[in-house]
Amino acid sequence: MTTPPALAAAPHQLHTSPEHPDLLELARHLQPAERQRLQQIEEFAQGRIRPESIEPWNQEELPRHLLEEAGELGLGEVFVDGSSHLFQGLAHAALARADVSISAVVGIHNELIVGTIDSLGSEQHKREWLPGLRSLRQLGAFCLTEPEHGSDVAGGLTTSATQQADGQWHIQGAKRWIGLGTVADVALVWARDTADAQIKGFLVPTSTPGYQAQKISQKTGLRIMQNADITLDVLVPETALMPGASSFAAAGEGLRGSRAWVGWQAVGAQQALLDISRSYARSRQQFGKPLASFQMIQTALAKVAGNLAVSTALMGELSRLQSEEKLTMMRASLAKATLTRLARESAALARETLGGNGILSTHEAAKVAGDIEAIYTYEGSHGINLLIAGRDLTGVSAFV
């Protein structure tokens, strides 16, 4: 056996591995055109996003140029361009394998911004916003969570929308954790109509006077994502209300799909962990031998690969259910909760393989581990997603 040379522990070191991480070869189920498109996306993700996101992650900056290039590959519209569910999932996993923040931005953009406007917006909304959004030249922010209402936002949401005598809406309130809140062109704001107490969806251009966003800094995960605290005291035209978004059930529809998509993020993140830890274990020498030759290191790698295989299999099956329109909230929540839990375990195993380098944010293992903590909590916390599944299993709600 030839031993690869040891890698110096240099900052920004990439530990690329030639092996493809699709352990179950799910891509073989794609039509040839989608398979080819996926390959282009994987090349872009590994060749550009992966190396060019490490420094922005450390600096908490958004590498906007990468989003524009992702737009040129059609990544801003995979949700609405007729792509198969399996292709969409594998494309999101390919992005997450390169950088979880970029996959979060692109995933939320597809599922919760472009998807919501396409299904719930008026013809005018679609004409005005979709061309720029689909190409990723424009960005949207999904504004649901509030400072005082996270898990209980459906019942507790306090941002208000009051229709004036002239038809305009006065939207007032505060939002927290809003991805791209400081850089988006349009905010999709969920607010409670003071007339009928229903939660409704509005499109608010972020240039509207009274929209203010303050970046949330010092995050330990998804540092590229530009989350923000937002305050709203805006007047928008009558037409800002999305005709299909006149109750919280409309937001729930989108959240179901996006919870399933977070499962694909967990797949991609674990592919990255396998890439990084396997490559490091082969190149780093201790006791005169590569780490990869030690049983405990191989056991750790095999556990990560096992978690990845289980995650991939579940998401492949879920995409099949999605194509048959059988994606229930129970299935989406169970997948999101289970796969982010497995990813968390994989992150601990993989970062340990790198020893001290596993806790340096300039190395990729720690970056991915931090990102996994964030995806474990967003799109509904791990606990709440388990309780949604528990409610379905028992017929009793343990949380509302």
Ligand X SMILES: Cc1cc2nc3c(=O)[nH]c(=O)nc-3n(C[C@H](O)[C@H](O)[C@H](O)COP(=O)(O)OP(=O)(O)OC[C@H]3O[C@@H](n4cnc5c(N)ncnc54)[C@H](O)[C@@H]3O)c2cc1C
Q: Could you tell me if 152 and 141 are in contact, meaning their C-beta atoms sit under 8 angstroms apart?
A: no
Q: By CB under 6 A, is residue 178 in contact with ligand X?
A: yes
Positive or negative torsion for Cα 246, 249, 251, 257: negative
Residues 129-148 that bind ligand X (CB under 6 A): 142-145
Q: By CB under 6 A, is residue 208 in contact with ligand X?
A: no
Among 116, 206, 227, 322, which residue interacts with ligand X (rule: CB under 6 A)?
227
Distance in Å, CB of 382 to ligand X, minimum: 6
Q: How many of the other CB atoms lie within 10 Å of CB of 26?
A: 18
Distance in Å, CB of 104 to ligand X, minimum: 7
- Segment near ligand X (CB under 6 A); pick from 91-99, 176-184, 259-267, 305-313: 176-184
Q: By CB under 6 A, is residue 377 in contact with ligand X?
A: yes
Determine the Cα–Cα distance for residues 56 and 197; give it in Å rounded to an integer. Answer: 42
Among 169, 177, 202, 248, which residue interacts with ligand X (rule: CB under 6 A)?
177
Written as one letter, the residue type at 297 is I
Among 105, 222, 347, 366, which residue interacts with ligand X (rule: CB under 6 A)?
222
Residues 91-110 that bind ligand X (CB under 6 A): 108
Closer Cβ to ligand X, 222 or 365, answer by number = 222
Q: By CB under 6 A, is residue 381 in contact with ligand X?
A: yes
Q: Could you tell me if 11 and 360 are in contact, meaning their C-beta atoms sit under 8 angstroms apart?
A: yes
Distance in Å, CB of 161 to ligand X, minimum: 16
Q: Are strands 140-143 and 227-236 parallel, antiparallel or unpaired?
A: unpaired
- Segment near ligand X (CB under 6 A); pick from 66-74, 129-137, 197-205, 375-383: 375-383
Closer Cβ to ligand X, 96 or 143, answer by number = 143
Quickly tell me which residue has 């991480």 as its tokens.
Answer: 21
| Residue 239 tokens, joined | 């037409």
Provide the b/e sequence for 232-251 (b: ≥16 CB within 10 Å).
Answer: bebebeebbbbebbbebebb
Of 304, 295, 306, 312, give the one whose Cα is nearest residue 277.
Answer: 304
Residues at the contact surface with ligand X, assessed by CB under 6 A: 108, 142-145, 150-151, 177-179, 222, 225, 227, 374, 377-381, 383-384, 399
